Amino acid sequence: MKKIVLVCSFLALIDLANAQDYTDAVRYTERFNIGDARYSAMGGAFSALGSNHSAILDNPASIGVFRGQSYEVSLNSGSNLSKTDFLGQVQSNRMNSFNGNVGLLYNIELPENELHAQYLNFSYTCNRVSDFAMKNSFNVYNNASSMTDELLGRIEGGFENYVTDDAKNTQLIYQDDAKRYISDFIKYNASGAKQYGPYGLNQIQNLTTSGRINENSYGIGTSFDNKVYLGLSLNVSNLDYTYSENYTESDTKNINPSFDSFTMYKDLNETGRGYGYKIGVIALPVKDLRIAMSYHSPTYWNIKSSYKTDMDLYYTQVDSNIPRSAFTYNDWVGSKYQLYSPSKLILGAAYTFKKTLIVSADYEFQKYSNALLTSNDPNIPDFNYENTEITKMARIINNLKFGTELRLGVLSLRAGAAFYQSPYSYYNAGFKDYRVSYSGGIGMKDENFYIDLAVVNSTSPSYRYIYTDHNGITQYSNTKSAMTNVVLTLGLKY
């Protein structure tokens, strides 16, 4: 009987005691330029313009720019096409999503006062600020290495304390008669030297994520002589995230007499609620020019997490050629933890030419390494290691957003672009992990009613760690995602 000590290692180490790592801090912090149709068409560069329900999420001073009551609803249809390249072979997947946004604003006129405050506006917005719908996979033939190379290497590297239940109940890594750890692909010959292979494996990975973050914003704003606008909002965010992955290696060509196949399964579900506030100002220093600044406090998240891992292993005993199998069926493991996502600073400017042409730009600054994981759950060890990884693996990001609008009577034509730096700091500086969005749209508005349509196309490459082989070479998959969003907004102003 083979004795097992096994560590299953993907990028997110959810086989280990903690399911959380620095990727949680990034995943639940990132925001992109999808809101209502006008905001989306102009690249999300709206912090200095205001009078837009989605712009309130960037700068609550936008609330003070509204004049009168305003109500709107938006419908957003998204399609995410991902192409994953592993070992030079590319596989495509598509996943669709659908959601809606709502914005309400109530206006109270103020009597004349010494502050020259003209009115108070109260707003409520509910926006889908993150959508996790994604699917990627690969199916390749590899005659040079195996996931078990990493597993064996970790054991030899002194990680025997990280023994999973899956490892204890399957037979993938074992000991020979000399009590040396070996695998079906790495053994010792008669002279004591390591002997590698034969490999020749089909490697298949299927990974799906789904879920969303909805942000509910409750705000108040005012105007001083239509020259300075101030706003404050309190924000409650709702999180639902699901991750499902399976990884299989199989000897389909019967090259290795002692190995058939194994499959690792991982599932993670997280739900939570986050709290924070935002303050902002918009000023008109000269005619037709607006400048803006807003501050987003850290978001305090309470998150419930549940995860499980399973493994199926099929192998053949060389002495009898009888196929054997071993399976693990684990229960879900639950925990609770807190996440402080980092604060954000936004600067914006916009210029209006004869109420016909608008040009706007936003700059966002955020230090992801300030994120912090904590927990009061006695079943979770401290997060010292994870927080150290956050400071090492997450970085400062500088995002830029640009937008323009041309008004032709009741008709408006819009275009925009946005560039988002990657919050990850990879070991390989050659990785170019970023997101670029291009957008356009059209709108029609009469005295009280408006209808807007926008199309946003966003592309982003990402790299996922798979394993390190017996030569010390790290194997990565490269996924290029292309997300297309179509947003329709209907609104009333009076």
pLDDT in tens, 391-416: 888 889 999 999 999 999 999 999 99
- Whole-model pTM: value is 0.89
The pLDDT score that the predictor gives to residue 237 is: 97
Mean pLDDT of 240-256: 94
pLDDT tens, residue by residue, 72-131? 999 999 999 999 999 999 999 999 999 999 999 999 998 888 778 889 999 999 999 999
> Which pLDDT score, from 0 to 100, does residue 259 have?
86
Q: What is the pLDDT of residue 159?
A: 57
| Confidence (pLDDT) at 4 | 30
**pLDDT exceeds 70 at position 485:** yes
Per-residue pLDDT of 465-482, as tens digits, reads 899 899 999 999 999 999
Asked if residue 380 has pLDDT above 60, the reply is: yes
Total count of residues recorded for the chain = 494
- pLDDT over 70 at 355, yes or no: yes
pLDDT averaged over the chain?
88
Q: What is the reported pLDDT for 9?
A: 33
Q: Say if residue 183's pLDDT is above 70.
A: yes
Q: What is the 3-state secondary structure (H, E, C) of the chain?
A: CCCCCCCCCCCCCCCCCCCCCHHHHHHCCCCCCCCCHHHHHCCCCCCCCCCCCCHHHCCCCHHHHCCCCEEEEEEEEEEEEEEEEECCEEEEEEEEEEEEEEEEEEEEECCCCCCCEEEEEEEEEEEEEEECCEEEEEEEEECCCCHHHHHHHHHHCCCCCCCCHHHHCCCCCEECCCCCEECCCEEECCCCCEEECCCCEEEEEEEEEEEEEEEEEEEEEEEECCCEEEEEEEEEEEEEEEEEEEEEEECCCCCCCCEEEEEEEEEEEEEEEEEEEEEEEEEEEECCEEEEEEEECCEEEEEEEEEEEEEEEEEEECCCCEEEEEEECCCCEEEEEEEEECCEEEEEEEEEECCCEEEEEEEEEEEHHHCEEECCCCCCCCCHHHHHHHHHHECEEEEEEEEEEEEECCEEEEEEEEEEECCECCCCCCCCCEEEEEEEEEEEECCCEEEEEEEEEEEEEEEEEEEECCCCCEEEEEEEEEEEEEEEEEEEEC
Confidence of residue 10 (pLDDT cuts 50, 70, 90): very low
Q: How confident is the model at residue 327 (pLDDT cuts 50, 70, 90)?
A: confident
Q: Which of the residue ranges 61-70, 386-395, 411-420 would you say has the lowest mean pLDDT?
A: 386-395
**What would the pLDDT profile of 32-42 be if each residue is shown by its tens digit?**
888 999 999 99
Q: Is the pLDDT of residue 69 over 80?
A: yes
> What is residue 222's predicted lDDT score, i.e. its pLDDT?
96
Q: Does pLDDT of 417 surpass 60? A: yes
| Domains of the chain as residue ranges with CATH | 22-143+196-493 (2.40.160.60)
Give the pLDDT mean for 345-373: 95
